[in-house]
């Protein structure tokens, strides 16, 4: 297959007609694609654990209320840090991405940007993330700095373990701790259980996402839970999702959730159940649609915490 044209304005695994392709200047598009601004679902998946823990902190301390300014800062920080993580991942994986059908048209393997340019862009995004982090208390800043280790090691995990989704879960769920400490100033069992639930959720949904590349990954030697679980992928993902729901129930209960919180969890349960029951592991479009549905799971869980806080 011929190499993709870096000036074509098309990336194979992005939505057609996305806002980056429509509105960004041609010279800026490769950087927006490096940061994955053309696909907002994973960005929100990084933000939702922050929202969970902010709402759970409001539930635990009703007098404090929900901190909307912290939510906005964490949303901006999620944009910066998700972009930084994706940029680092693409720098590390440029040679592998060139061998995978879905990823070979990304900016680095296609030649739209150089590794030096990508590294400079990575530094700029990390700087934005650090400035946002410095708006919070000392414990939150310390935890945020620690998360850089998880961001740094994740791109290498697919080479050494069948569980790179676990390491993604550790990094993508970190906001479940940051939101809580930004309000309470310390950790307790409730945010730790919330964090565990988010890790299990990420393993489940990223296993579904990895089904898109399972054949190419096998050819180039990339490990994933999608390959590890094989024909058992649907029941195993179901187990991870079920365990995540149990953790979220426990976390909410520890934080004072009662009344409407548990009944409201029927919404994320139904969305997760639909994903598993209708998943076709052999169909990349099917897997991508079910992966994207996790945005609504995050919204529903954040709303459950928030509504319990209100009522």
Q: What is the pLDDT of residue 106?
A: 84
Separation CA 66–CA 69 (nearest Å): 9
* Phi, psi torsion values for 123, nearest 5 degrees: -60, -40
Closest CA to 54 of 82, 79, 73, 41: 73
Kindly state the tokens that stand for 33: 């694609």
Separation CA 191–CA 177 (nearest Å): 6
Count of Cβ atoms closer than 10 Å to residue 147 Cβ: 19
Q: What is the pLDDT of residue 3?
A: 40
Q: What is the pLDDT of residue 110?
A: 85
Separation CA 100–CA 172 (nearest Å): 24
Kindly state the tokens that stand for 303: 């709303």
Count of Cβ atoms closer than 10 Å to residue 110 Cβ: 24
Q: What is the pLDDT of residue 40?
A: 76
Q: pLDDT digit of tens for each residue in the chain (311 aa)?
A: 334 444 445 565 556 667 777 778 888 888 888 888 888 777 789 999 999 999 999 999 998 899 999 999 999 999 999 999 999 988 988 887 778 777 788 888 888 899 999 999 999 999 999 999 999 999 999 999 999 999 999 989 999 999 999 999 999 999 999 999 999 999 999 999 999 999 999 999 999 999 998 988 888 889 999 999 999 999 999 999 999 999 999 999 999 887 899 999 999 999 999 999 999 999 999 999 999 999 999 999 999 999 999 88
Closest CA to 14 of 297, 207, 311, 292: 292
Separation CA 104–CA 84 (nearest Å): 19
Q: What is the pLDDT of residue 4?
A: 41
């Amino acid at each position: 297959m011929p190499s993709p044209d870096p000036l074509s304005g098309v990336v194979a695994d992005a939505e057609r007609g996305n806002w980056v392709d429509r509105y960004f200047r041609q010279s800026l598009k490769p950087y927006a694609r490096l940061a994955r601004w053309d696909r907002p679902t994973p960005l929100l998946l990084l933000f939702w654990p922050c929202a969970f823990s902010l709402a759970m902190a409001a539930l635990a301390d009703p007098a404090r209320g929900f901190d909307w300014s912290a939510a906005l800062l964490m949303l901006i920080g999620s944009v910066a840090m998700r972009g930084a993580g994706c940029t680092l991942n693409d720098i590390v994986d440029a040679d592998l991405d060139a061998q995978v059908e879905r990823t070979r048209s990304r900016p680095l393997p296609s030649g739209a940007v150089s590794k030096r340019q990508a590294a400079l862009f990575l530094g700029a995004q990390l700087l934005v993330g650090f400035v946002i982090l410095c708006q919070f208390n000392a414990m939150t800043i310390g935890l945020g700095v620690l998360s850089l280790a998880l961001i740094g090691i994740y791109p290498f995990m697919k080479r050494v373990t069948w569980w790179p989704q676990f390491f993604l879960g550790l990094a993508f769920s970190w906001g479940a701790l940051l939101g809580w400490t930004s309000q309470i100033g310390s950790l307790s069992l409730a945010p730790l259980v919330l964090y565990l639930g988010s890790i299990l959720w990420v393993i489940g949904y990223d296993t579904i996402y990895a089904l898109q590349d399972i054949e190419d990954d096998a050819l180039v030697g990339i490990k994933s839970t999608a390959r590890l679980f094989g024909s058992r992928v649907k029941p195993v993902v179901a187990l991870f999702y079920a365990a995540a729901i149990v953790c979220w129930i426990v976390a909410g209960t520890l934080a004072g959730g009662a009344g409407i919180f548990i009944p409201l969890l029927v919404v994320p349960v139904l969305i997760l159940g639909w994903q598993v029951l209708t998943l076709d592991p052999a169909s990349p479009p099917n897997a991508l649609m079910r992966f994207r549905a996790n945005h609504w799971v995050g919204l529903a869980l954040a709303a459950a915490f928030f509504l319990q806080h209100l009522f």
